[in-house]
Chain A
Amino acid sequence: MVAVRTAITAIKNAPLLSALSITTIAFSLFAFGLFGLVALNIRNALQRVGDRVEIRAFVADSTPVEVLAIIADSVSRYPEVLKVDVVTQDQALERARQELGEFKDVFDGNFLPASIDVKLKPGARDPKTVQLVANRLRDYGIVDDVRYGEEWITQLYRLRNIAGVAGAALGLAFAAVAVIIIGATIRMAVLSRAREISIMRLVGATDGFIRRPFLIEGSIKGILGGLAALGLTYLAMRLLGQYLHFETVFFDRRLALLGVLFGALMGLMGSAVSVGRHLRQV
């Protein structure tokens, strides 16, 4: 309790320095938040595209519907498979007419092959799994051809991986910068109270006792900075959404809380490093 009071007093006694710390934390986290938001939105967009990943196994024209049903049933038991649809020749024609309305008069007769359409479960839409399932479908004698948009699935996943790695790397870099900035501002606070700390040590205060208020101070600044960054990120997203007419999603409550806690953690770490270094020196 004493430590909390001391920390709050310290922040009040140096309003300018505290405001500076909180602002720098807020901007570091803001940058971090923007990247997070971009990553989140790319992820969401990819997820929507990923929902459309589908394998189509075209079968020989003479295949009886009953055989198709038996194969579909056994395919639906693959662990990767979410859903299997049998599309007869008639249905294929109907679908083509719907999808390509302007050519509907061209489509006549049963020239489109029947197919078994396979949708995969969310965790199994990566290129490797898709190919694996496609190959198994190919093994059925009645299957003439298997299509699954090989090219674009690979591209999609490459894009997603690049976005993920870039987001994580930049995010970590910004987090590191934030920790250093917090460390520097807490170091200023530590130095401005160096005399007090030396007296504390002389009269027998433990390192833990000396450290505690600074750690609390750092955490409070981290939380305040985190909240400010959250506000800034939200504002930035709204503005971008308005100008770019782009539908975006914001962090849900859990992610937002995690962000603020991350701010607190950075504040704590920055303080711990600064105070630890000072205590080792004196």
Chain B
Amino acid sequence: MIRFDNVTKVYPRAAAGTAALHRVSFRLNKGEFVFLTGPSGAGKSTILKLLYMDERPSSGEVKVSGYSSMEARRRDVAKMRRRLGIVFQDFRLLENRTAEGNVAFALEVIGTPANKIPGRVSRALAQVGLASKATALPKELSGGEQQRVAFARALVNDPFVLIADEPTGNLDERASRGIFQLLRDINASGTAVIMATHDLQLVRSSEFRCIELNHGEIVFDSADSSTPLALGAD
């Protein structure tokens, strides 16, 4: 479903010899939940960007649901992203649109027929527990609620995988737990989840697979017994 084969990524303006990722290989299976951890600059966000093909590998290949980083054109990437759900630490909502307007936006811009939009938006908002706040503007919502709107937007297209880049990074402890529970629920309904996080407490307390990165290399993968390093020495 998702495959990284020997992926190296060097950003054009990086100092000579410093790769953001170095020969990284792993697979993510259907419906799996995986954490990406590691210190800042370890390569977590680069992996996610390669996954939704915002960046292309310098060498190696990324394959996402049949789309290859070596062949996909811009148009293919747009099509592929319709099957992904992506959320960020900073929510990335449109301030002048209500919660439901933000969710509907994701359907409008890919040409979903207008009569099918309201039903799907309501379902997505209900799924994240925000049915009652559908008409609120982002500034009228708490951080946790805004992140839930972003989740609803990511889910409204029924993605096969949800990509979350530090989704709890801007939230307090309680809101973070709520979001994590939401991610578990989403995963339980069959959607794969790949989540980058600094929150080792969260990772340790859960039973999910964990890939730890450092200096652009995988130093630990709980699904792979050949990388026996313990999770985060800190």
Contacts and interface: CB of A to CB of B under 8 A. Distances in A.
Contact of A203 (B74, B75, B109): B109
A206 B109 CA distance: 8
A203 B81 contact: yes
A204 to B, nearest CB: 4
18 contacts: A2-B108, A195-B92, A200-B109, A201-B78, A202-B81, A202-B86, A203-B105, A203-B109, A204-B79, A204-B83, A204-B84, A204-B109, A204-B157, A205-B78, A205-B110, A206-B74, A206-B78, A209-B111
Interface residues of B, number: 21
A205 B74 CA distance: 10
B92 A199 contact: yes
A200 to B, nearest CB: 5
B198 interface: no
Interface in B98-114: 105-106, 108-111
Interface string A123-158: 000000000000000000000000000000000000
Interface of B: 52, 74-75, 78-84, 86, 92, 94, 105-106, 108-111, 153, 157
Given A199-B105, A200-B109, A202-B81, A207 B92 contact: no
A123 to B, nearest CB: 51
A207 B106 CA distance: 15
Nearest to B74: A207
A282 to B, nearest CB: 9
A63 interface: no
A207 B75 contact: yes
A192 to B, nearest CB: 12
Contacts of A2: 108
